Every structure is written in C-alpha cells, then in structure tokens.
Amino acid sequence: MKCSSLGIGLAGLGTVGSGVVLALERNADLISDRTGGTIRLEVAKVLVRDPAKTRPVSLPAEKLVTDWRELVADPAVDIVVELIGGTTDAFEIVSAALQARKPVVTGNKALLAERGVELFALSKQYDTPIHFEAAVAGGIPIIRTVQESFIGNRIHSMCGIINGTSNYILERMTTGGLEFSAALAEAQALGYAEADPALDVNGWDAAHKAILLATLAYGFPIDTAAVHVAGIEQVRPIDIEFATRLGYVVKLLAVVREHPDGAVELRVQPSFVAKSHILASVNGVFNAVAVHGDAAGESLFYGRGAGQDPTASSVVADLVEAARSLRHATGHRGFLPYRESGTLLPVEDTETACYVRFDVTDRPGVIAEVARALADAGIGISGTHSPVKPDQPDAAFIDMVFLLHTCRFGLLQETLKTIEALDCINSTPVVFRIEKL
C-alpha cells in the first residue's frame, strides 16, 4: 500500500505534547519503515492557550488554534490526541472526536477513570477507538500487554507501584532519613512533583491508573467512589524505621486481585512490602507492575512511570495503532468493556496483617487497654513497641506500634474507633497493610 500522511490533531503542547512532536519529527522515517512504508504521521493542528508563548518545539502559526472545536472539525485531522488533562474540556474534546469518527489517543487517566463509562459507550456507538497506553505507568506498555498479550489469561492479580512521585518521596524518607515535608519539597525542586502534589501524595493518581487496569482485566466499569484509597501524607520516619527493622520497605501499593467468587479487590494504600520481593527494589520515580495470569504465571513490567520521553513514547505507539486501524479496516481496535457489571469486594471484607501506630499519653496501663480492645474483637497481636527517644526520655506523649495478625479490615476499623475513644489516645490511629505478595 502506498504511504500517505495521516494528520494529527494535538490538544495540548505542554511537556508531553512537545515530546510527541519531537518524537514524530525524530523518528518519522523509522515509523514508516517499521510499518512497511504505509504510515507517516504529521502534526496537522495543535490546540494551545497562547499561540505567542515560547515553546521547545517550533510549529507554523497556521497550525496553532485556541478553540478545540476548530481542531476536531479540521478535515486535515485524522486522529485526535488529548493531552490537556482534567475532566471537563478533555471530555468535550474526546467525545466530539469520537462522534466525528476520529480515533482518540489520550494519556488522561482521571478522565477515563471518572468518565470512562460515557466515553466507552460513545466509542462503541460510533465504532471509533480510544487508545490510552500513556495513561498508566508512562513508558511501560502495560495497557497493551494486559489487553493483548494476556488476552488468553484469566488475570488473578496485578500489584504495583504506579506513582513515581510518591515512590521517590518514600525512598528519600528511607535512604535520606527525611521527614515527609522535606522529601516532598525535594521532589518538587527536582520537577518530580507538581506545585500542587495532592493527587500524587493522596493516592488518587495511582488509584485512577489502578481503576483502568482493573477495567481492562475484568471488563466492567468501576465506580471510583467504591475504591479504597489512602495516601502517604501520614508516613513518618518512625514508620520507615519500623519497616526497615522488620525486613520491609514502605511503598504506595496498588492492589488489584480477583477472588474465587469473582469479586475484585481494588485498593491503594501505603504498605509494608518484604525486602525479598522484587517490588521492594523499585526506587526513585520508576514504576513496576507485577501481573499474575493463570497461563503466563507472574510477569513484571518495569520502567519510568512519567516524564516527557517515556510518556511521549506511549502516545506515539498508540498513534501508530490508531493509524493502522484507519489504514486497515478490521473493526474496533480500542478497548471496550465486555461485561455490563461486576462486583468490587468491599474494602471492609479484605484481609491482611497490619501495622498500626497510635499517638498515646504515656502512662501505666496504656498497652493493656489497647491490647484488651483488640483481644475483645478477636484480633491477634504479633508484636508491640513503644520507642523512647533519647533526647526526650520523659516525653508525655509517645508513638506506640502494634503489629496485628491477618484480620478483616472492617473489623479492624470498627475496633480502632473503640480504641480512639479511649482517653489515652490523642489522634486517629495510622494503619499500613503488611502485604503478602
């Protein structure tokens, strides 16, 4: 087939958008060669807020527009790439492109996690695909792997580190002995964290990605309100110290697991991961996802989870896939939910061992009071510790740690409410899962 150009409508020319333009310029001939000379991708229109702004890429003024409607409607645009973020304008752009039967490539995990039901319905109605490799784990091809390479597997579980900012912060708290606030400031200074890092540190960036992975693996839309999410804001050096002493590291872990009855467990929270497990060695801004399929067994996917080049690489891979679907009409080649509904296991019914830290008034009988409440609930204790700080031997308030045997999370939550009401407890207890991976 003779090669002819396909026009790209790029919504957003920030870090990733600029990376896409540069990658297409740099590797246009390579892409054409690897697709048998049938595909050449060219940027036809770019949506920007300020056409006069200085950018790392140079584009003719006639290719820049400030109205997304002009970009989507342009007959020179064959494929629409949405990289503006958010869930409002981005939704309008993606839905309009689908209705115009123009394939969509997006890296917007929040958009798909929160409004994917509507967009996938449009994708099906107009027989036009949405590709979103860049939405999860940057340059790691985890979306395509789960969707295609594991198509013949029942996926038992996916566990991973899928937020590089939190992973960097936790590593610096571990290796550098930093407080959370200092590690966050360092991450911001290095450009690893945004000025507003809320979605990274509160766990929701990872949760949006985990929701997409679960949707791919189990085929039904997932309500974000039903997902248990906890961030790393309450991690303190004492927690890092205990984890190290016990042979663990602290990671913000996304857990997706199918149970024998078909219910899907989906949660994101700081967790103790054994140093012997390969995920414990994933440091810095790197991501990793361990996928366990019934036929393939366990596989690990590792790489940079963010950044201009890794994310642009995933966008370009999706662009080539979208171009192939236009060149060779073989039906819908994007993802569509294949089950109308499924069951999320309530977080209250999930079970793990746990680490619990209490801020207590240091007086006789405190340990006994807490231990009695746990025993009355039938929760076993595997260890306790009340560290004394050498520089504060007579402190009136201390941290007291309990290590608990595997128990139902709902039972633990109920019991902690009872314990929190004790007059010796000064704040809400902090809970980390101790994962068995």
Residues annotated as catalytic (active site), given as ranges: 209
* 313 contact partners, CB below 8 Å, separation of at least 6: 23, 139
Distances (CA, A) of 179 to 186, 261, 392, 399: 11, 42, 18, 16
State both tokens at 224. Answer: 């974000």
* 15 contact partners, CB below 8 Å, separation of at least 6: 308
Q: Which residue is it, tokens 């340990």?
A: 367
Rounded to whole angstroms, the Cα distance separating 219 from 146 reads 11
* 123 contact partners, CB below 8 Å, separation of at least 6: 98, 104, 129, 130, 332, 334, 336
State both tokens at 291. Answer: 């996928």
Which string of DSSP letters, residue by residue, matches 269-326? EEEEEETTSGGGG--TTEEEEEEEETTTEEEEEEEE-SSHHHHHHHHHHHHHHHHHHH
Distances (CA, A) of 172 to 90, 195, 236, 272: 34, 19, 12, 16
Structure letter (DSSP) for residue 345: P
Paired residues of 272 in beta bridges: 250, 434
**Radius of gyration, CA atoms only, the chain:** 24
* Residue pair 206/162 in contact by the 8 Å Cβ criterion: yes
